[in-house]
Each structure stands twice: as structure tokens, then as C-alpha cells.
Amino acid sequence: MTGIVLGIETSCDETGVGIVRCADDGTVTLLADEIASSVDEHARFGGVVPEVASRAHLEAMVPTVRRALRIAGLTPSDVDAVAVTAGPGLAGALLIGVAAAKAYAAAWDVPLFGVNHLTAHVAVDTLEHGPLPTALALLVSGGHSSLLEVSSLVEPLSPLGATVDDAAGEAFDKVARLLGLGFPGGPYIDRAARDGDPGSVRFPRGLTGPGDAPYDFSFSGLKTAVARHVEALVRDGISVPVADIAAAFQEAVVDVLTAKAIRAATDRGIDTLLIGGGVAANSRLRALAGQRCDAAGMRLRVPRPRLCTDNGAMVAALGAHLLAAGAPPSPLDIPADPSLSITTSLVGGSSSTTNRA
Ligand code: KG4
Ligand code: ZN
């Protein structure tokens, strides 16, 4: 089925509303991508405060939907389906989006698709690069870091490995904090690192020994190593070279991410690497992945940075693929599921692609 899909994202601190059009040939086109962020309200706490995020979603929801419709030049009667992030994420934040999506779907009398935030981070790439061939996906966000084999956006994703401790984005946020940079830390480290020397310190690369799980990640040892390094400098009265440390830390993260992703793809005979999630906005990750994919004869797909961090367009994109595939819509009593498994793309319904959570 073709049509217009409105997607709602509220899993963390961004109220995202995206609108896409799905054509007969399966092409999905972006019509609107509106975001209201509460990040400034969290910055002074150094992390997202769930209650503050929920309240901000509640206030931003209706105006953001209206803005997205206006920008797309559409009215509610043009919308053929509503998609929403059903999980994973912050419980109260998800609840606002799921409740709003149910209300819109009921009021507009259109199907509802409760989707997985992580699958949506993969699906968004089709807005920029078209239909997805079988790909090895490196999914790196504030809460998740995994390697997945993706053969279809409407089938359950099969994880090959994941972080055993901190997510990549979490490591960026924690190291930024200890370097006195802002929140969220990823973009600050990315910027600071441009003036730094990535070879100034060789920080540890977690789980890269011969006996280590080849597709799993570990970033907590790296974060501790950076903390010890900074403490030692401070103890010795040496001023902390923030740019150099940011660059050396970033290099350790992106070295491991790209090496493991390319190894996983090569091992499985997959020639396309897709990177998604907020950390995929990182300029050094994008550059190194490009170099290493070229060297390995692989194709790299990374959406533009704005589509890597949380947004409603990614949810609408996944909803459009589900609609086009004829997936059964979610019932209107689906819950928000803060710990929704990465293997569930669509919540509710009854086919093998779904899971009644
Ligand atoms: O996908 P996302 O927007 O939200 C979650 O689903 O978690 O990812 C947010 C994460 C944060 O940890 C943020 O610091 C990180 O993505 N991030 C970056 C960059 N932009 C955002 N990390 C490294 N470099 C960036 N340029
Ligand atoms: Zn995300």
C-alpha cells in the first residue's frame, strides 16, 4: 500500500514529527522533519531528566504535528497511517508519543504502527539512499551499540553483537563531561577533536584481543582510562590538553567501531555497511568508515547528520516500509515498552515480523 505516513518520536529529549510519502515503486520521500528539543533544559544536569523530557514532549507534541503538516502542505485528511516509537527509551517520554499517536490514528481513522526506535535508525537511510540491499548495520546511539545483519526492514533484525557495558554515545557523553565540555557530549568532542592530535595518547581499544568476542564492544575501560589520564595530568599540575584528549578518545572509539563492523561484514560476505544512530553524525567516524570501506571494496551508507540523531522522519520512514509491505497495524492498546528488544520491529499485529509486547 502507498500513501502518506506521519511519524512521531519521543523516546528521549527530542519531540520529532516526520512526514513521508511512499510511492507505488516503494520509494519513500521526506516531506517534513520537525523537531522540538528539550536539550537545553537538561544541559545543566549533564544528562536527560526523564520528567522534564516528558513534560516538554507534552507541550511540544500538538504544535510540532501541526508544523510538520503545514510544512508538508498537507491536512490531517491526507495522512494514511501514523507511526510512533513504541520503544526502547524513557518510559514517560515514550508514553506521551504513543498516547498522541493513538489519539491521532483514532481521530483520523488510519492504521497505527508502533515501531522500534533502533530499526527506525536503520530505516531512515532509505530516505537518502533509496532501497536497502542486505547490509551490515552498525547502530550507535546514546543507549545502544550493536552490529546487525539487515536483509529487510520489516523482518526482525538479527543482532551479531552489542556493547557489554556503555553505549558508544554514552562514552562520548561521559568523556565530554570529564573534559568539562557540554551536553550531549558527542558534538562537543567531535568539534574539539578537530584541533587535536589523535595520536597524542594511545587509549585502549576494548575487546580487540585475539580471544575476545569479535562483534561485541566495550567502552567503559576506555572511559576509565581517559579519566585516569586526566587525573594524572591534574595531579602533576599540567593543564589538560582537551583537544588532544578528545581526538585520542574519539580515535579509539571509531577505530574499534569501524574495524569490527568491517570484519563482521567481510565474515558474512556482505558488501554494504550502513551506520545509524546519533554517533553516526560523528565526522571522524564517517571519514574513517569511508576510508576503510573503500579499502575493503565495500559500499558505505550513512544518512546526513541531521537524520542520524533522533527525529520523526526515521519513524515515518519505517512506518512507510511497513505500510508498503502490508504489515498488520498495531492495535490501539499497545504499550510503550522502555526495553523493547532490537529483534522486534513492529509492536502488536500477528505476523512473524511482529511481537505482541
Ligand atoms: O540516536 P540518538 O540521537 O539518541 C539515542 O537514541 O540515544 O543518539 C544520541 C547520542 C548521544 O550520546 C550524542 O552524544 C551522540 O549520539 N552524538 C554524537 C554526535 N552527535 C550526537 N557522538 C559523536 N559525535 C557526534 N557528532
Ligand atoms: Zn536514537
For 257-286, the pLDDT digits (tens) are 999 999 999 999 999 999 999 999 999 999
Ligand 1 residue neighbourhood (C-beta within 6 Å): 12, 141-143, 169, 172-173, 184-187, 190, 277-279, 281-282, 309-310
What one-character DSSP code corresponds to residue 342? T
Per DSSP bridges, beta strands 354-355 and 272-276 are unpaired
For 200-246, the pLDDT digits (tens) are 999 999 999 999 999 999 999 999 999 999 999 999 999 999 999 99
Residue of the CA atom closest to atom 18 of ligand 1: 186
Distance between CA atoms of residues 221 and 40, nearest Å:
29
By the 10 Å C-beta count (0-12 exposed, 13-18 middle, 19+ buried), 3 is classed as middle
Q: What is the largest CA-CA distance in the chain?
A: 67
357 pLDDT exceeds 70?
A: no
349 pLDDT exceeds 70?
A: no
* Strands across the sheet containing 272-276: 158-162, 145-150, 135-140, 272-276, 299-301
For 123-166, the pLDDT digits (tens) are 999 999 999 999 999 999 999 999 999 999 988 888 999 999 99
Distance between CA atoms of residues 265 and 288, nearest Å:
16
Burial code of 121-148, b = ≥16 C-beta within 10 A, e = fewer? Answer: bbbbbbbeeeebeebbbbbbbbbbbbbb
What one-character DSSP code corresponds to residue 240? P
Distance between CA atoms of residues 355 and 340, nearest Å:
10
Quote the pLDDT of residue 26: 83
Work out which ligand 1 atom sits closest to the CA atom of 250.
23
For 92-110, the pLDDT digits (tens) are 999 999 999 999 999 999 9
Work out which ligand 1 atom sits closest to the CA atom of 309.
3
